[in-house]
Amino acid sequence: MKEPDLRRACGDLRDGLGAIRNLEQLLKSVRVAPRSIQAVLPGVHASCAPLVQLTHEFLGYARKHLDVTCCDELTSYVVPRIEKLKGILEPAMSRTVNAKQRLALEDDVTPLSKSLDAAAALFDLLEEGVNGKSVSLNLAELITQSRPGDLPSTASSGRRTATVTTDVHTGADVDVTPRLAMSTIALAIGLLKPKAKEPHIAVRADARLLSVNLSHGPCDGQPVQVVIPKIVSPSASCAAAVTTSMGAEFRIAEGQSEVTLVWKLSG
C-alpha cells in the first residue's frame, strides 16, 4: 500500500534539513560576509520546531508499514539534534557574528548538520521502502551494472565511494525496487566493521534461497563502484526494516564481520 503523505512529509523534511546544510556551507565559505550569516540564522532557527513536528509526522506514517524499531531509533536520533541546534542558534541571533563567534558556530553546527544529513538519507530510504515500485529483475545483474550515479544524491555529506568486488553465481530473479535494493546494499556495506581489504559482494542462489553476502573477502571478482553512506546509530535498524519491506531477511553477524540479505525464491 502506497503512502502519499509519507512522500510529502519526506520532501518537506528534505527541504528543511537542506537549509541546515546550507547554513553549514555558508559558515565555511570565506566569501560569505558575517552579515549574510546573521541574516539566515533566524530562518534556520524558526525551522527547527516544524522539523521536529515533521519528523514525528513522517515516522508516524512510516511505522504503519515498517518495523517500529527503526522509527523509534530515528526519532531518538533526530529530535535531540534539532533541539540542540535550536539552542545553539538562539543566542547567536542576538549578537553580531564576528570571526571568533563564526568559527565557534561552525564547530557547533557542522557535526549536527552532518548527522542530520545522514538521517535525511535514512528518511529517503524508508520512504522508498514504503512507496517504491517493485519489479522482477536479476539482482546479480543490477549489482554488477550499477554506478554511483544510480544512487540518490540527497544528503551526500559523509558519503564515500568504494570499489567493491563481486562474485556472482546466479541467474535468479526477485521482486525488488532497484534503487532501494542498491541503497540498502550500500548501507549494509557501510555497516561492516572496517578492515584493510575492500568490501566484497557474493551473490548465491539455490532452488530455495537467493543470498547477497557482504564481507571483506575474498577480493577476486568483478569490481563495481558503490557509494557508501555515512553510518549512524539508526542505520542498521533502517536497513533491516526496508530489507523486510522487499520480502527479504536481513542478517548481520556478530562483530559486524558480514551482512547478508536473503530472499526466498518461489517455485
pLDDT, tens digit (0-9, with 9 covering 90-100), for 200-243: 888 988 889 999 999 987 666 778 888 899 999 999 999 999 99
Q: Could you report the per-residue pLDDT of 241-250, keeping only the tens digit for each?
A: 999 999 999 9
Which one of 131, 147, 172 terminates a domain? 131
Q: What is the CATH number of the domain that holds 250?
A: 3.30.565.10
- In degrees, rounded to 5, the angle at the alpha carbon of residue 164 between the alpha carbons of residues 162 and 165 is 160
Q: What is the CATH number of the domain that holds 64?
A: 1.20.120.230
Whether residues 78 and 143 share a domain: the answer is no
Whether residues 117 and 150 share a domain: the answer is no
Q: Name the domain count of the chain.
A: 2
Whether residues 154 and 99 share a domain: the answer is no
Q: Could you report the per-residue pLDDT of 85-113, keeping only the tens digit for each?
A: 999 999 999 888 888 999 999 999 999 99
pLDDT of residue 154: 42
Whether residues 126 and 146 share a domain: the answer is no
pLDDT of residue 163: 77
Whether residues 176 and 238 share a domain: the answer is yes
Q: Could you report the per-residue pLDDT of 7-32, keeping only the tens digit for each?
A: 999 999 999 999 999 999 999 998 99
Q: What mean pLDDT do residues 118-138 have?
A: 94
Q: Categorize the per-residue pLDDT at 145 as very low, low, confident or very high, splitting at 50, 70 and 90.
A: confident
Q: What mean pLDDT do residues 60-84 have?
A: 97
- Nearest Cα neighbor of 166 from 190, 184, 139 is 139
Q: What mean pLDDT do residues 142-161 have?
A: 62
Whether residues 168 and 109 share a domain: the answer is no
Structural domain span for residue 248: 135-264
pLDDT of residue 152: 47
pLDDT of residue 2: 64
What's the half-sphere exposure (Cβ side, CA atoms, 13 Å) at 94? 4
155 pLDDT higher than 50: no
Whether residues 245 and 259 share a domain: the answer is yes
Question: Do the beta carbons of residue 38 and residue 28 sit within 8 Å?
Answer: no
166 pLDDT higher than 60: yes
Which one of 81, 102, 131 terminates a domain? 131
User: The cell 571483506 sits on which residue?
Assistant: 216
Which one of 77, 99, 131 terminates a domain? 131
